Every structure is written in structure tokens, then in C-alpha cells.
Amino acid sequence: MERLGSFYAGGARDGIFAKMMVVSPTLKEYERFYPEGDIPYPDIRDRAVFWDRLLGEQTELEDDSVPGAYMSEFDGGLYAGLLGSEVRFLYYPERGWVTSMTAPALADFRDWRKLKLDKDGLWAKRFREQINYFKEKSNTKYGIAHFILIDALNLSIELRGGTNMILDVLDYPDELPDYFEFGRELNFWVWDSFFEIIGLYDGGTVSNYGQWMPGRIVSESLDPFHMMSLDYFEEWGRENAEKVFAHYDGGCIHIHQGNGKHLIQPASTIEGIKLIALIDEIWNDDKAYMHMDEYDGLRGDVPVLFTIPHPVFTEMLRKKHLAANCLYNVTNVPDVDTANRLMEEVRNYRK
């Protein structure tokens, strides 16, 4: 964690950092063995066994990763579920996740004022039970990572659906400030509860993007603004993100390569931002690392996460072509020994 602390403190701007994603037997098994379509809320005992096996494969790694279980079951559907929406689950085999969203529950956007956070309801109970259970089962072997917030227009997607989310911005702009405040308070309850139960790991937060980040760090999403112009982001996105980050010790943001690169520069100037994670889609052959020099020029001094295949990473590393002040998810590393040998070069890299 000492290297990561230097990374986020701005003390290693000529160096690089890496998570070595060694080919996983646990994930290979998971990919062969999942149903399509909606599934019920999973047995948390099974999920704990999965994470224990997956993260147990990484104990001999000497990279910059911090092992963390990701509560993907809550990464979309929890928030609207707390307001009474129907939560639906799907397998996400490539990552070993079970992910969630909700069926749209509001026929009229203006009815959001009737919604109430049910702190004693089913989803509040499941949320507390699951993170308490994982805290107990992890037993300091691994951390419990933060998952994404669903606030502002992301909450609208859950409550209203994507098309209606955009139409509501046009039809009810006067409603949005109060609605955004309502969404922030919902998210603050979730994340205040999370940090109260989980606490911090050596003074920081375990992150699926940033590995370990000092302080109470949250994971914000700008997904709706991938489909909008920057004017909409400045009017409806920036202030909300900054208020969320100010409530904690800052945050990270993920941006999708497929349609979000126009957000890299403005996101880098959000007050409180600690990391921009550039996310590739499986279906899109145009990957973020292919635009490394361009994106390096857009992010200012903000650390960035790229995902990059092992052979490409190795070649760029040895040619000194990797952007500095970046964290790299290096995929398809064949084995732990290869990973650890490569990390010796990573730690010595300077640009």
C-alpha cells in the first residue's frame, strides 16, 4: 500500500503501477457454468466461497493490487430497491459477478416525491446482512471494495428507464435540483452505513478500480452523460459529483471507451477526483490503451486506469511507451511467476 499511497499523493508521477490479472481457474469455471436471463438474489454463502477461491489465487502476487471482494449484487439495483422497486439479477461471467438493476417503477417522474427510503425493508436488511457476512468471512484475508453510486440521472435510469431519463431532463428541469438532493441523501445513507460497518483498511478504501485509496473514497458514475453533450454534464453532472465527493474524502469515476471519451478532460477537473478508470467494452475492439497518448493529454495530473493485454503491456513497458502516473490492469498474464518477474520492471520504470 505504500506505493499506492505515493501514487494518490502525487509523489510518483514518473512511475507506473500494475495489477497483474493472472489467468484464473475460478473464473474459467464460473464462465462455463451460468444461466442466461434473470436469476434470484444469490445465496451470499456461495458468493463468499467464490471470492475466497478467486482472491486466494492471488496470494503469491507481488503486484500493486489489493485483494477485494466486490459486492456486485448491489451495484445497480440496491438503490431503487431501497425505494420499493423490483430488483432483478443477472450473471456477469467475465468478472464472476452477479449484477443487478431494477424494473422502472415510476410512470410519472413527478411522483419521485412520494418515494421513501425504507431503512428497515428487505433491501436494507440484505445490504447490511451481506456486508456484515463478508466482513466476517474475509477475516482480514481480503477487503470489501466499494461499489458504484446510483444517484442523480443514474437513479432516474433505474426508476424510469433510459429514454424517460433523458425526456425528464427536458420536461422537468425545475424538479431536478430537489430530486438530485433526494438521490444524494439516499446514497449517503448507503455509504455512511457501509463505512460504519466495514471501516477503513490501513486508513483507506479498497477499490475495484483504484485497488486501495486513502480515506473514505466513493465510486461515482457519469454513465448518463456518455449519451449527452458536455453542456448537459456541466449543468447537471459536475455539481452533483462534487457534492458527493465533498461528503467523503473524494472519489473515483469510470468512463467507458465506447462513448465517453469526451468526458475525460472535464472529469479531470471535478473537485475531489482521485482516479479516472477508463473502461473497455467486450464488444468493442477499440480499446482505451490504443489512445493512450491522446488520453494522457486530456487527464491533467489525475491518475488514470488502463486495461491492457499482457503482450502489449510488456512490449510498451520495455520500449518506455507507457504513460506515467497510471495504473494498469494487465490481462491474461499466464502465471504468477511471470507476473512477479514483470513487476520488477514495473517498479523500476521511469518516464
Q: What percent of the chain has pLDDT over 70?
A: 100
What is the model's pLDDT at position 253? 98
What is the model's pLDDT at position 95? 87
Q: Does the structure show a pLDDT above 90 at 196?
A: yes
If one compares 95 and 54, the residue with the highest pLDDT of the two is 54
Q: Which string of DSSP letters, residue by residue, matches 149-188?
A: ---HHHHHHHHH-HHHHHHHHHH-GGGHHHHHHHHHHHHH
27-41, 259-273, 277-291: range with lowest mean pLDDT: 27-41
What is the model's pLDDT at position 93? 85
What does pLDDT average to over the chain? 96
Q: Tell me: the pLDDT tens digits for 7-17?
A: 999 988 899 99
- Helix ranges, 256-301 (H): 264-268, 292-296
Confidence of residue 181 (pLDDT cuts 50, 70, 90): very high
Q: What percent of the chain has pLDDT over 90?
A: 92
Torsion region of 84: left, alpha or beta (phi above 0 gives left; psi -120 to 50 gives alpha): left
Question: Can you tell me the mean pLDDT for 209-222?
Answer: 98
Q: Does the structure show a pLDDT above 90 at 192?
A: yes
Confidence of residue 184 (pLDDT cuts 50, 70, 90): very high
Q: Does the structure show a pLDDT above 80 at 34?
A: no
Question: Can you tell me the mean pLDDT for 39-53?
Answer: 95
Q: How far apart are CA 186 and CA 182, in angstroms?
A: 6
Question: Structural domain tally of the chain?
Answer: 1
What is the model's pLDDT at position 216? 98
Confidence of residue 346 (pLDDT cuts 50, 70, 90): very high
Confidence of residue 241 (pLDDT cuts 50, 70, 90): very high
What is the model's pLDDT at position 243? 98
Distances (CA, A) of 309 to 30, 110, 168, 240, 334: 21, 47, 41, 35, 11
What is the model's pLDDT at position 31? 82
1-15, 179-193, 259-273, 284-298: range with lowest mean pLDDT: 1-15
Confidence of residue 285 (pLDDT cuts 50, 70, 90): very high
Torsion region of 223: left, alpha or beta (phi above 0 gives left; psi -120 to 50 gives alpha): alpha
Q: Tell me: the pLDDT tens digits for 125-149?
A: 999 999 999 999 998 899 999 999 9
Specify the amino acid at residue 260: G
Q: Does the pTM of the predicted model rise above 0.85?
A: yes
If one compares 91 and 288, the residue with the highest pLDDT of the two is 288
CATH number at residue 8: 3.20.20.210
Q: Residue 123 corresponds to which cell in the numbers above?
A: 433491501
Q: Does the structure show a pLDDT above 90 at 251?
A: yes
What is the model's pLDDT at position 349? 96
Range of the domain at 33: 2-348
Q: Which string of DSSP letters, residue by residue, matches 26-77?
A: HHHHHHTS--SS-BPPPPHHHHHHHHHHHHHTTTT--SS---EEE-GGGSSH
What is the model's pLDDT at position 300? 94
What is the model's pLDDT at position 36? 77
What is the model's pLDDT at position 11? 86
